[in-house]
Homo-oligomer: A and B are copies of this chain.
Amino acid sequence: MRLSQYFLPTLRENPAEAQIVSHRLMLRAGLIRQQAAGIYAWLPLGYRVLRNIERIVREEQDASGAQEVLMPTIQSADLWRESGRYDAYGPEMLRIKDRHDREMLYGPTNEEMITTIFRDGVKSYRDLPLNLYHIQWKFRDEVRPRFGVMRGREFLMKDNYSFDIDKAGATRSYNRMFVAYLRTFARMGLKAIPMRADTGPIGGDLSHEFIILAETGESAVFCDRDLVDKDILGRAIDYAGDLQPLVNEWTAQYAATDEMHDAARFETEVPAGRRLAARGIEVGHIFYFGTKYSAPMNAVVSGPKGEPITVEMGSYGIGVSRLAGAIIEASHDDAGIIWPESVAPFRIGLLNLKPDDGAVSKACNDLYATLRAKGVEVLHDDRDLRPGAKFADMDLIGLPWQVIIGPKGLAAGKVEVKNRATGARSELALDQVAATFAA
């Protein structure tokens, strides 16, 4: 993409309304714009990030055996009366009346709807286990939305729902999501630590939050430092096999959010040198809640002998739009965002330092064309601006690599390559750039 034609309205000043760094940087880097309190539009650069996050979530869900559906945003109130949650849910639920005065709502979550889809479509134990997910916009009418996409009202969430005939099956489904979540966050360059969680209004008796560490995190967390260094991506995963040992390995050590924290246990179980008290951001949450919805809503299959079995359910959520902010909280510096390669909107920023120099512009245009032909995603800053402004913008938007072409280097056949994360700079022969990045 040529920056001269790209809609990237960056801001020089810090917007007054933004209290945390990710919100500030998302506004300044032209990723989002607020449309109403807690409601954002995603501009081209931001939407590329959001779609990358969504793609990783989808790939890991698919790999785990979950099947993708899409449920609508608007639901009927009657559906929520079946579970008893219509009256129980607070003012966070956006309640709506349609033109015929029927009571509707903008879905904050989908346990009820998926349960009716399940009970209408599945009749036999032979069709289980089943795990259905969707990635859809939700609405929670927060009394005081803030922190940009971290606590918005309209937000994109991946939620899924597992159905099993017994607790053992439900635990296997839970474990598959546990591992899929570890992989999902790790692929985004995040250190996500599963922490035993309170089950809250969704109910049930087994639940973990996935927390990433960031200085600006919303809550205090406590864990064994060893957990931070554990790496799931190097491990072979067989979703058809027994994942309990892997789950045990990730839950054996102490890890707790503020509300579940037990200071005495922390000090007993964790050696002083490994005690980590930090701040964290919740990016995922998984629940096993048994028959909490299937019993009142009559989600029953027939068993091997024709007997009715009320299915055991779990639900699992990842805050997809929230992750865009969370990744920035975990990965930025004073100059701007530092995108991990897997979610970066473009892999390379190509800087033309002297657009009015024919040789420099030709080298830039040729390299841009070559990289694109090789499938490398490049944002080409061909604007008629001073180098200083280009450097500042490129650091601000945080693409992983900067390839910088100016008249001096070019005369020697050289370009400069800068790694955004480390700041390391190196010289590369112009004719080696494409091969280096296409590899």
CB pair A39 B141 closer than 8 Å: no
Q: Which of A81-89, A114-122, A306-314 contacts B (4 or more CB under 8 A)?
A: A114-122
Q: How far is the CA of A41 from the CA of B74 in the complex (A)?
A: 10
Q: How far is the CA of A74 from the CA of B227 in the complex (A)?
A: 40
CB pair A7 B137 closer than 8 Å: no
Contacts of A132 in B (CB 8 A): 7, 44
Chain A, 44-70, contact with B by CB distance < 8 Å: what is the 0/1 string?
Answer: 100100100000000000000101111
Closest to A67 in B: B44
Contacts known (A91-B99, A132-B7); A43 close to B72, Cβ less than 8 A: no
CB-CB contacts below 8 Å: A140-174 with B: 141, 143, 153-154
CB pair A9 B120 closer than 8 Å: yes
Q: How far is the CA of A42 from the CA of B134 in the complex (A)?
A: 10
User: Which of B44, B74, B99, B102 meets A68, CB within 8 Å?
Assistant: B44
CB pair B143 A99 closer than 8 Å: yes
Q: How far is the CA of A33 from the CA of B118 in the complex (A)?
A: 11
CB pair B42 A7 closer than 8 Å: no
Chain A, 80-120, contact with B by CB distance < 8 Å: what is the 0/1 string?
Answer: 00000000000110101011001010100000010011001
Q: How far is the CA of A184 from the CA of B104 in the complex (A)?
A: 35
Interface residues on A, range: 35 or more
Count of identical protomers in the assembly: 2
CB pair A75 B154 closer than 8 Å: no
In this complex, the member of A6, A50, A73 whose beta carbon has the largest number of chain B beta carbons within 10 angstroms is A73
Contacts known (A33-B117, A99-B143, A113-B41); A73 close to B70, Cβ less than 8 A: no
CB pair B33 A74 closer than 8 Å: no
Closest to A156 in B: B70
A145, chain B: closest CB distance, angstroms: 10
CB pair A33 B67 closer than 8 Å: no
Contacts of A102 in B (CB 8 A): 36
CB-CB contacts below 8 Å: A248-288 with B: none
CB pair A35 B70 closer than 8 Å: no
User: Which of B35, B75, B127, B141 meets A98, CB within 8 Å?
Assistant: B141
Answer yes or no: A71 CB below 8 A from chain B CBs.
yes
Contacts of A42 in B (CB 8 A): 69-71
A298, chain B: closest CB distance, angstroms: 17
Q: How far is the CA of A76 from the CA of B36 in the complex (A)?
A: 6
List 7 tightest A-B contacts by C-beta distance, closest first: A9-B121, A42-B70, A36-B76, A41-B71, A91-B99, A44-B67, A39-B72
- A33-B117, A41-B72, A50-B70 given; name 13 further pairs at CB < 8 Å: A7-B69, A7-B122, A7-B127, A9-B121, A36-B72, A39-B72, A42-B70, A42-B71, A44-B67, A73-B73, A74-B154, A94-B96, A99-B141
- 17 A-B pairs, CB-CB below 8 angstroms? A6-B67, A7-B121, A7-B130, A33-B121, A35-B75, A36-B72, A39-B74, A41-B69, A42-B69, A44-B69, A47-B69, A72-B154, A74-B106, A74-B153, A96-B96, A96-B106, A98-B153
